[in-house]
């Protein structure tokens, strides 16, 4: 009889759920992988993050990786236990606390209604659900929701209410979300009840929002004769910007994935269609089954380059972050990308000793002990690029500054 798996690689939604659970936002970590034996939960890089017991409770093993952006601000992204303790220390255990959920951009209607909503309450906790998953085009993502929540908090403070804001890790789409009720999560964050702010919109505002998508088409129809208006609409639908591939290369632990994720999140937040192709995650899917000999590594990098070039061909931005240790593989990616659009090579040149000190999975120690063959930087060479458009050392450059430097090149 086959025993159930004791390791589970978490999806983006499940990482959100784990973070929410570990912070005290949910009593259990409900996954279909729960068995009668402990399950080690890992991220896509196979870093063990927590051990899930059969009762649905998880014990942390290593900290979850953090990214950049306003929705990762430590002052906002706090565990439910911390927020609850802060609120209840301020107002007492029996005072009435309201949670306002900001999951859509607040309109003037909602802002104008804040004083009435806060009346009679001892405090208001503004909750902004943020997901690791890239939001659909035109949808406000984690960075925007975090900024919107801060606007709501500041408006409440300006109206004389006691208010705080918190970013809540929230699975974007998975069956388990049916078990996550805002009332329950709000209670974990110290509130007695939850109210979705967008539910306070007037019907007039709802109607105006529904018409937004039609306004442009109506104006085009009014300005141009019908045949010309049809041409304008057709051209607008087919319009696209030049595609771009931003390709990060560097040693394991150099920080390239962290910077790449932060860059992709920032571009997404600005409405630019961005696809992130992280090296370890690609290994889980696109290149599953490949080894780590030179030929396999070159094939893995070429596959990443091919997918990135398809994204660029259709006007999108592909952000890739494999180790890509060999110059020949990087040259092939450049060739594919430049045939489709623009190519930017970023060398994350963090020193080897810093990468080893950061190693969350103990891979460098295993490689030095001979347990891992052909490990880049130890038993397999890393050919530093001499054609990089940008060189960043994350041991002396913050994630925010690194993203800014890449943006300046773009």
- Mean pLDDT for the chain? 88
Positive or negative CA dihedral for 138, 143, 146, 148? Answer: negative
Q: Which CATH number fits domain 70-200: 2.30.40.10, 3.40.50.300, 3.40.50.620, 3.90.1150.10?
A: 3.40.50.620
Least confident of 1-15, 115-129, 210-224: 1-15
| Whole-prediction pTM | 0.75
Instruction: Tell me if 70-200 shares its fold with 244-409.
Output: yes
What integer pLDDT is reported at residue 179 of this predicted model? Answer: 60
Contact 91, 188 (CB under 8 A): no
- Higher pLDDT residue, 173 or 155? 155
Antiparallel, parallel or unpaired: β 48-52 and 39-42: antiparallel
| Annotated domain spans of the chain | 7-60, 70-200, 203-238, 244-409
User: 244-409 belongs to which CATH class?
Assistant: alpha beta
What integer pLDDT is reported at residue 237 of this predicted model? Answer: 61
What integer pLDDT is reported at residue 212 of this predicted model? Answer: 82
Contact 128, 146 (CB under 8 A): yes
pLDDT in tens, 39-72: 899 887 778 999 998 888 999 999 898 888 889 9
């Amino acid at each position: 009889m086959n025993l159930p798996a004791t390791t589970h690689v978490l999806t983006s939604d499940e990482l959100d759920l784990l973070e929410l659970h570990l912070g005290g936002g949910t009593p259990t970590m409900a996954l279909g992988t729960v068995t009668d034996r402990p399950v080690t939960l890992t991220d896509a890089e196979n870093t063990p993050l927590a051990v899930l017991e059969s009762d649905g409770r998880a014990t942390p093993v290593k900290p979850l990786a953090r990214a950049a952006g306003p929705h990762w601000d430590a002052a906002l992204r706090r565990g439910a236990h911390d927020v609850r303790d802060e609120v209840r220390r301020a107002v007492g255990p029996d005072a009435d606390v309201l949670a306002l959920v900001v999951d859509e951009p607040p309109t003037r209607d909602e802002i104008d209604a804040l004083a009435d909503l806060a009346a009679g309450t001892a405090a208001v906790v503004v909750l902004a659900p943020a997901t690791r998953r890239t939001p659909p085009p035109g949808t406000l993502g984690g960075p925007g929701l975090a900024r919107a929540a801060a606007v709501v908090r500041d408006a409440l403070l300006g109206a004389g209410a006691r208010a705080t804001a918190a970013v809540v890790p929230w699975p974007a789409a998975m069956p388990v979300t049916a078990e996550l009720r805002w009332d329950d999560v709000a209670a974990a964050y110290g509130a007695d009840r939850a109210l979705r702010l967008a539910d306070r919109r007037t019907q007039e505002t709802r109607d105006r929002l529904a018409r937004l998508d039609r306004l442009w088409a109506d104006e085009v129809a009014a300005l141009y004769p019908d045949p010309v208006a049809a041409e304008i609409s057709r051209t607008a639908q087919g319009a696209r910007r030049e595609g771009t591939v931003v390709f990060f290369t560097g040693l394991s632990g150099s920080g390239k994935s962290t910077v790449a994720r932060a860059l992709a999140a920032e571009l997404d937040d600005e409405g630019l269609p961005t696809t992130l192709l992280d090296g370890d995650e690609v290994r889980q899917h696109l290149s599953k089954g490949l080894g780590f000999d030179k030929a396999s590594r070159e094939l893995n990098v070429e596959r990443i380059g091919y997918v990135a070039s398809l994204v660029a061909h259709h006007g999108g931005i592909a952000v890739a972050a494999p180790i890509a240790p060999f110059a020949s593989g990087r040259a092939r990616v450049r060739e594919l990308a430049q045939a489709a659009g623009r190519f930017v090579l970023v060398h994350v040149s963090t020193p080897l000793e810093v990468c080893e000190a950061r190693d969350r999975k103990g891979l460098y120690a295993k490689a030095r002990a001979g347990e891992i063959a052909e490990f880049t930087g130890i038993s397999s060479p890393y050919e530093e690029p001499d054609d990089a458009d940008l060189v960043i050392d994350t041991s002396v450059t913050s994630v925010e500054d690194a993203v800014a430097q890449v943006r300046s090149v773009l």
